[in-house]
């Protein structure tokens, strides 16, 4: 997936034709029920002065690796190495990349570390400092990104790969679908990250500029939720291209609401909701499972924005989501008289 995204990006690079000054890329989400028209996306990127990654005129090939190809345990970056069972392969790939002047692209997700381990210190996932951090070889690591990148440097060094440039293929923070996936934390993470990148401080082992692709530009409401409900909420923008939180892509700390996509066509003002005279909700149980599996009920899950809806509103939410994701087709609101189409806005803020 990472590679496909990069290729998509490469196309946009050509499309935009802009000169890369401050290199920062953004992965663009395509797994949505109504993906935005590419021309709106290009306009959004121009409006927000988000530059494409520094691929130069030549598009370099690479193979994206997830950060779980290596480990460091609790002893810090210098103890890191590629995982034993895949070490041979990853070392081969790394040497190949090195010999061919290609970058090593890695996806790093501090959010996932937090999601997978309840004891993971939140401050270490963000960039505010304040955490205890990790002390290693006279270096105090205060954020996971630095520790993770330097772990990778140690892994490469141990494999005899010394010159390969490390690029971050995907990094970001989701805004829904989990208690730590929310707009406040995403805003904090991104603005901390962008400020850090703008200062070109790099990591303790590799000071300087880092090429980074943010994940993601827009939400994808059809993405697989196997890894977690948050998967559909990685966007800095909602799937209709509207911003979620203030951000400063230049990293200068002047965060403001970015410019949303323009000329987006919306469906008509109608909603599919639970019929008032449907009193026995156990009768709609199978309809709910159906609507949830084909629509998107990730925002209703524990820790999510709509988790506190009443039971009846829950049902309306599910019916309506399926209806909207089916482009408001009349059949998509046919739940054996349990649902009706209405022009009254049933959404709650
Ligand atoms: C509600 O519907 C279920 C399933 O159809 C049924 O078993 C149950 O008896 C109904 N309850 C009432 C109070 O009508
Ligand atoms: C609403 O639906 C979600 C997801 O299916 C569930 O976790 C939650 O408990 C439901 N809430 C109510 C009040 O039924
Ligand atoms: C419906 O109401 C909600 C909550 O007030 C609002 O956020 C939303 O924009 C409205 N939708 C439309 C299509 O008017």
Nearest CA to ligand 2 atom 12: 311
Same domain as 307, residue 166: no
Confidence of residue 230 (pLDDT cuts 50, 70, 90): very high
Residues of the domain holding 331: 271-342
- Which has the minimum average pLDDT: 30-39, 222-231, 245-254, 338-347? 30-39
Structurally, the chain folds into a number of domains equal to: 2
Same domain as 157, residue 47: yes
CATH number at residue 149: 3.20.20.80
Confidence of residue 36 (pLDDT cuts 50, 70, 90): confident
* Contact between residue 340 and residue 275 where contact means Cβ atoms under 8 Å apart: yes
pTM comes to 0.87
Nearest CA to ligand 3 atom 2: 347
Same domain as 318, residue 211: no
Same domain as 155, residue 98: yes
At 34 the pLDDT is 79
Same domain as 332, residue 209: no
Q: Would you give the DSSP letter of residue 302?
A: T
Residue 241, in any domain of the structure = no
State pLDDT tens for residues 319-346: 999 999 999 999 999 998 999 999 999 8
Confidence of residue 33 (pLDDT cuts 50, 70, 90): confident
Give the residue from 182, 207, 233 where a domain finishes: 233
- Which has the minimum average pLDDT: 19-23, 34-38, 319-323? 19-23
Same domain as 142, residue 191: yes
Residue 140, in any domain of the structure = yes
Confidence of residue 219 (pLDDT cuts 50, 70, 90): very high
Same domain as 281, residue 227: no
At 346 the pLDDT is 87
Same domain as 158, residue 33: yes
What angle is formed at CA 41 by the lines to CA 106 and CA 21, rounded to 5 degrees?
60
Give the residue from 214, 233, 252 where a domain finishes: 233
Ligand 1 pocket, 279 CB below 6 A? no
Residue 158, in any domain of the structure = yes
At 282 the pLDDT is 93
Residue 254, in any domain of the structure = no
Residue 348, in any domain of the structure = no
Pairing verdict, β 139-141 and 166-171: unpaired
Confidence of residue 27 (pLDDT cuts 50, 70, 90): low
- Which has the minimum average pLDDT: 14-18, 93-97, 127-131, 171-175? 14-18
Ligand 2 pocket, 318 CB below 6 A? no
Confidence of residue 26 (pLDDT cuts 50, 70, 90): low
Residue 238, in any domain of the structure = no
Same domain as 318, residue 182: no
Q: What percent of the chain has pLDDT above 70?
A: 88
Same domain as 279, residue 191: no
C-alpha to C-alpha distances, 208 to 136, 218, 313, nearest whole angstrom:
20, 29, 51
Give the residue from 177, 203, 233 where a domain finishes: 233
State pLDDT tens for residues 37-63: 878 877 888 888 875 544 344 455 667
Ligand 1 pocket, 280 CB below 6 A? yes
Q: Is the pLDDT of residue 208 over 60?
A: yes
Residue 15, in any domain of the structure = yes
Same domain as 310, residue 226: no
Pocket (CB within 6 angstroms of ligand 3): 269, 345, 347-349
Residue 168's Cα: distance from chain center in Å? 13
Q: Is the pLDDT of residue 124 over 80?
A: yes
* Contact between residue 154 and residue 92 where contact means Cβ atoms under 8 Å apart: no
Residue 263, in any domain of the structure = no
* Proximal ligand: closest to the CA of 281: 1
At 57 the pLDDT is 41
CA of 281 to the centre of ligand 1 (A): 8
Neighbours of 126 (CB within 10 A): 24
For residue 16, say if its preceding peptide bond is cis, omega within 30 degrees of 0.
no
Same domain as 217, residue 100: yes
């Amino acid at each position: 997936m990472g590679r496909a995204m990069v290729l998509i990006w490469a196309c946009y690079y050509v499309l935009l034709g802009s000169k890369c000054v401050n290199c920062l890329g953004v992965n663009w989400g395509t797994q949505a029920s109504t993906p935005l028209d590419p021309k709106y996306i290009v306009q959004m990127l121009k409006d927000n002065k988000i530059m494409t990654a520094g691929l130069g005129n030549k598009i370099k090939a690479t193979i994206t690796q997830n950060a779980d190809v290596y480990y460091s345990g609790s002893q810090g970056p210098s103890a890191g190495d590629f995982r034993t069972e895949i070490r041979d392969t990853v070392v081969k790939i790394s040497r190949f990349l090195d010999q061919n002047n290609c970058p090593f692209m890695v996806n790093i997700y501090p959010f996932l570390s937090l999601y997978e381990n309840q004891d993971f210190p939140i401050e270490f996932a963000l960039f505010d400092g304040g955490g205890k951090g990790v002390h290693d070889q006279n270096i105090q690591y205060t954020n996971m990104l630095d520790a993770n990148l330097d772990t990778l440097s140690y892994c490469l060094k141990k494999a005899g790969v010394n010159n390969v440039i490390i690029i971050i293929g995907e990094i970001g923070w989701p805004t829904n679908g989990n208690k730590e996936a929310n707009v406040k934390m995403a805003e904090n993470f991104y603005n901390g990250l962008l400020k850090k990148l703008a200062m070109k401080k790099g990591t303790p082992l590799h000071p300087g500029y880092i090429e980074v692709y943010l994940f993601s530009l827009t939400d994808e409401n059809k993405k697989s939720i196997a890894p977690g409900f948050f998967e559909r909420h990685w966007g800095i923008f909602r799937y209709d291209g509207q911003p979620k939180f203030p951000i400063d892509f230049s990293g200068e700390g002047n965060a403001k609401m970015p410019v949303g996509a323009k000329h987006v066509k919306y469906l008509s003002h109608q909603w599919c909701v639970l019929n008032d005279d449907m009193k026995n909700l156990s009768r709609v149980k199978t309809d709910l499972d159906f609507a949830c599996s084909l629509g998107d009920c990730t925002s209703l899950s524990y820790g999510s924005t709509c988790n506190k809806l009443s039971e009846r509103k829950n049902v309306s939410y599910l019916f309506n989501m399926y209806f909207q994701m089916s482009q408001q087709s009349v059949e998509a609101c046919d739940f054996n008289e349990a649902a009706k189409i209405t022009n009254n806005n049933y959404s709650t803020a």
